[in-house]
Chains A and B, each alone.
Chain A
Amino acid sequence: MPHCKALMFPFVLLSAATAAASAEPPVARPDGEFFEAQQADVAVSGSVIVGVASTNAQEGAVVSRLLVTPAPAPPEGRLCLTVLSRDGVYYSRNTFALPDDPAGSTVQFDYSHSKLLETLRRYRERELAIRATPGRCEGVTGAAYYVVDAAASHAPSAVRVFVNSFGATDVFYQRDPSADAVACAPITEGRRTSFDYWCDIPWPTGAAGPFTVHIQRERYGREMPGVALTLYPAPRP
């Protein structure tokens, strides 16, 4: 019953999060010195996709309780976690080492080395982009893991992708070439140095493995280069 499975999926995630919170999940620790910066207008990377996180892991307070299920296992047992504020003031990018044998289980990022947790708490919904990618930060990847909040009281309904449109007037996402493109929403308030659109991508019904989302941009009708994002769903029991 695929429908039943779809209904179970958020429940599984929430259960995993709750269980992880109560049973002290394995911890992914920074591989090297923890790096973060708080300065105005940091050089924004060239990434179109800036953040990929569940809709319940959006505010700054969640960084110290981020959960990820690194399946398939990333190369060298490493994950790259990037946190970037919309105003460009806060930026961190660190390689995290997974425990020796995570066995596809849910792990928690150790963000306790941050000295700017108070600063991060000031960021509200749609003001902070979090992205966990497989491998070291030096590598290039178009994939992302699904990051959730360990203390969330409700199951995430979608993946929220933050997009730096680089001046686009329209941003869309498309699950597959045969499906219609769905418009992403612009951010109209406040500063938009790091990203200016967000797309809530509903979790695909019955997804068992990674799936690819295409982000398309247009500037006054003219197409800009598209970007493909591979999303790794949380494993089912």
Chain B
Amino acid sequence: MPARPPTIASSWRRAAAGLHVAWAALLWASLRLVPWVILVFLGLLLWNLLAPPRWHFSVDARTAVAEVELPREFETNWRIEGAILCSRAASLGTLPRHTVDGPSPCGSRRWFAYRLAEAADGVADEQVLVLGGDSGGRRGETIAATIEVRTDGGLQLSLRAGGGSAAAKLRGSAGAPDVAAALPLNLVWQGESRPRDLVFPFTARRVRVGRDVTWAESSALRDGSLTVFTGSDESVAKRVRVEEVALMLGDQVRLEKLDDAETYWPKGFFRFDRIQGAEHGPVLEAVAFGRAERVRIERFGDAGYDFEPGWWVGVQHDRRLVSWTGFMIGLLGLLGTYAGMRELAAAPLLSEAFAGLAAASAGDSDGPAGGAEPAPHDEGQGRA
């Protein structure tokens, strides 16, 4: 007897049965998944608390003094037109001595003043100071640079070798050969010479903006802000501001190199505007970025404090943890909703409830002995 082709009804029945099996399998898997999901959540939470995230810190400050330690394996280039170069060497290649009537702009007799090359029309030629860029043998050594606003409205820069000896190169654009100048070096931009706008970008091992407040010093950080960011794929700027703190007069902020899975060097720049506002006088603008767990702010009058987002902020901005928490809450919510719906489905129907009420009323009219029959409500529950 040939098999009859399946009817539409039987196909629907088979499909429904298949779906029922799939649904049962999904429920079975979800129920067994719950403990593992919770376990992974706890693991991620523990990992977040034990290994706090690295934040992106950003310093934006106006200061009279700043220091930076430049790693010698990186080359740093700064334009230094208008500066008087002070060296302890009695001669520096072809650089002419800077001679003036009166005291030397370089200070004591240990220092010799040099004038940077000028073009024929008397306009300062482009002069570049090249620091670092040494071969690998100098890895780990640094050049310390301190930049400070002078009382005459100019700027001064000291360059010192952080260990051993080091030299800077002076590179002019006129085709002249580079001039090597051994550190220590000082560069002086006198106020009356109105230095051009100066920008000193850097990749550093350590950046220090501001200085300890003492009775003998007037150079200090004036104001600014320190901001913490975290990376975010959702944001257009690919980062989200987490917290910001205002910097006060006299504060000191340090950003340091972070050795993690990879090395993160603080980066930034100093800018000295030639035209200064009359209200505040000459000032150095410092902008620096770096990654770290925390940044220390040293403030006069207290021992300083670590600017570090709290654990809750860390949890909130851990994308893995947030995603997993969402998944866990969704799963538990779905299962809870399903369980609630099943319970509702098992509850007595309205008609059954009315029948039960009618039976109870009939029992009351028959007398107290007639109440022994089970109520439909109980049957319904038994079926479920």
Contact = CB atoms under 8 A, between A and B. Distances in A.
Interface of A: 40-41, 43-44, 46, 87, 89, 164, 166-167, 169-170, 186, 188-189, 191-193, 218-223
A167 B217 contact: yes
Contact of B216 (A40, A166, A170): A166
Contacts of B216: 46, 166-167
Contacts of A46: 215-216
A216 to B, nearest CB: 9
Contacts of B148: 220
A223 B303 contact: no
A104 B371 CA distance: 114
B111 interface: yes
A217 B329 CA distance: 66
A221 B110 contact: yes
Q: Is the interface of B mostly helix, strand, loop or mixed?
A: loop
B214 interface: yes
Nearest to B156: A220
B193 to A, nearest CB: 16
18 contacts: A41-B303, A46-B215, A89-B303, A166-B217, A167-B217, A169-B146, A170-B160, A188-B69, A188-B144, A188-B206, A189-B206, A218-B107, A220-B156, A220-B158, A220-B186, A221-B86, A221-B186, A222-B108
Residue among B111, B148, B212, B304 with the highest chain A CB neighbour number at 10 A: B212
Interface in B247-283: none
A165 to B, nearest CB: 10
Contacts of A186: 144, 160
B203 interface: no
B219 interface: yes
Contact of A40 (B144, B206, B217, B301): B301
A199 to B, nearest CB: 15
A227 to B, nearest CB: 13
Interface string B197-240: 00000000010000111111101000000000000000000000
A53 B160 CA distance: 27
Q: Is the interface of A mostly helix, strand, loop or mixed?
A: loop
Nearest to B104: A221
A186 B108 CA distance: 20
Contacts of B354: none
Given A221-B86, A223-B108, A44 B162 contact: no
B346 to A, nearest CB: 67
Nearest to B217: A167
A188 B144 CA distance: 9
Contacts of B188: 220-221
A40 B160 contact: no
Nearest to A191: B298
Contacts of A164: 214
A188 B145 CA distance: 11
Given A41-B301, A186-B144, A222-B107, A167 B156 contact: no
Given A40-B303, A221-B110, A222-B107, A191 B212 contact: yes
Contacts of A193: 212, 214
B184 interface: yes
Contacts of B215: 43-44, 46
Contacts of A169: 146, 158, 160, 186
Contact of A220 (B107, B217, B301, B304): B107
Nearest to A192: B212
Given A188-B69, A220-B156, A41 B108 contact: no
A44 to B, nearest CB: 6
Interface string B178-193: 0000001010100000
Interface string B147-167: 010000000101010100000
B302 interface: yes
Given A167-B211, A220-B107, 5 more contacts: A40-B301, A41-B300, A87-B304, A221-B108, A222-B107
Contact of B214 (A44, A87, A218): A44
A124 to B, nearest CB: 17
Contact of A221 (B69, B106, B160): B106
Contacts of B211: 167
A40 to B, nearest CB: 4
A45 to B, nearest CB: 10
Nearest to B188: A220
Residue among A46, A89, A170 with the highest chain B CB neighbour number at 10 A: A170
Contacts of B206: 188-189
Given A40-B301, A169-B160, A169-B186, A218 B108 contact: yes
A117 to B, nearest CB: 19
A10 B219 CA distance: 43
Contacts of B69: 188
A192 B160 CA distance: 18
Nearest to A219: B107
Contacts of A222: 107-108
B113 to A, nearest CB: 9
Given A167-B216, A169-B186, A193-B212, A218 B110 contact: yes
Nearest to B142: A188
A223 B301 contact: no
A177 to B, nearest CB: 13
Contacts of B86: 220-221
Contacts of A221: 86, 106-108, 110-111, 186, 188
8 smallest A-B Cβ distances: which pairs?
Answer: A221-B107, A222-B107, A40-B303, A166-B216, A169-B158, A221-B111, A40-B302, A221-B106
